[in-house]
Amino acid sequence: MSPNPTTQKEHIWLRDEDRGTERRTALTPKNAKVLIDAGFSVTVEKSNKRVFEDSAYEAVGCALAESRSWVDAPEQTVILGLKELAETPTELRHRMIHFAHIYKDQTGWQKEMARFVNGGGMLYDIEFLTNEQGRRVAAFGYWAGWMGAALGAHRLLERRAGRDEITKGVSPFESQQVIIDKLKALAAEKEGALPTAIVIGAKGRSGTGATECLEAIGMQVTKWDIEETRLLDRQALLAHDLMVNCVLMFGPGLLLANKSHLAAQGSQMKVISDVSCDPFSDFNPLPIYSEPTSWTEPVIEVCQNGSGDAVEVTSIDNLPSLLPMQAAEEFSDQFIKPLLAFPNGVAWKNAEAKFTTIREKAGL
């Protein structure tokens, strides 16, 4: 199928990510070709970190541009990315598609909204692209949950084996199987029953990924969702060795644990993987750390449990980038259908409405 010049649509500009550890992309070369065949024009910024080579995009008909040249792109261009922007330019004049992390009262949300309003731009936050049923049209949730559980299990199992590897930093893995083999080997280093784990938000995308990861290495997993957290049995929660939190909070109402709870008699919790990773929000159900952990410092100690063992947290906010190829391919395959409907599809109208609501909330 070749492009039809009489049906030329929007110009999509895939930017190079500002974050140095972000190797994922919202648009794979395969799906860039789908856009081009449908009448879109696609420009891709060169990147030395994106998991797909620049040449792969060029081969399917994309124009290549220098990194961060989107700043000077024509005003009608649609700028597509994944993670939040650098602090410059201070005014944003384009329509932009990415995860901004500013709609839940996160630190600095008003300042970020002002960049769009003052520049005359528009934010289509991917987290709030929803269909007629209010469900997100594309998400990295499964891979975030899977990878978050893997890191939490890695830390717990290496502590059990008397090792200390993951605290020195993490980098992208070749495949799921490589990770599973590594975790199984760690588990086999010490005889006896494996530690216990609990997944909060087990019925969602992230929770499903987390559960499947832990069960793949033979861990016993307790699965909690809305029913179990409505009347929280915190003693039962903290009787586990590992907690993977996959609950995304949009308002107050859930406190899983604070430092006092973790330190109380009977608490056996040793490692918490906070996949939802929202420490800057007033609605954070785990107010035990102040900022996300990182690839260079993936684990931090926050307190000691009721038995005097360290309670550690891992809370990396771009977990799927540790499996960038698989995560990007699945996300892009979900995202291409709504992207083909830009800007008139239901998801885009819902995102516009959300932007307007937050702008009014900010008094802008």
Does 101 participate in catalysis according to the annotation?
yes
Question: Can you name the residues that pair with 79 across neighbouring β-strands?
Answer: 13, 96
The strand pair at 310-314 and 300-304 is best described as antiparallel
Distance, in Å, from the CA atom of 303 to the CA atom of 84, rounded to the nearest integer, reads 31
Does 83 participate in catalysis according to the annotation?
yes
* Given the residues 46, 83, 203, 259, the one annotated as active site: 83
Distance, in Å, from the CA atom of 20 to the CA atom of 106, rounded to the nearest integer, reads 22
Distance, in Å, from the CA atom of 245 to the CA atom of 224, rounded to the nearest integer, reads 10
Cβ neighbours of residue 244 closer than 8 Å, sequence gap 6 or more: 145, 148, 149, 152, 197, 198, 199, 200, 207, 210, 214, 272, 273, 275
Residue identified by tokens 């892009």 is: 332
Cβ neighbours of residue 303 closer than 8 Å, sequence gap 6 or more: 259, 262, 263, 288, 311
* Given the residues 101, 261, 270, 354, the one annotated as active site: 101
DSSP one-letter code for 75:
T
Distance, in Å, from the CA atom of 97 to the CA atom of 129, rounded to the nearest integer, reads 10
Residues designated as active site: 83, 101
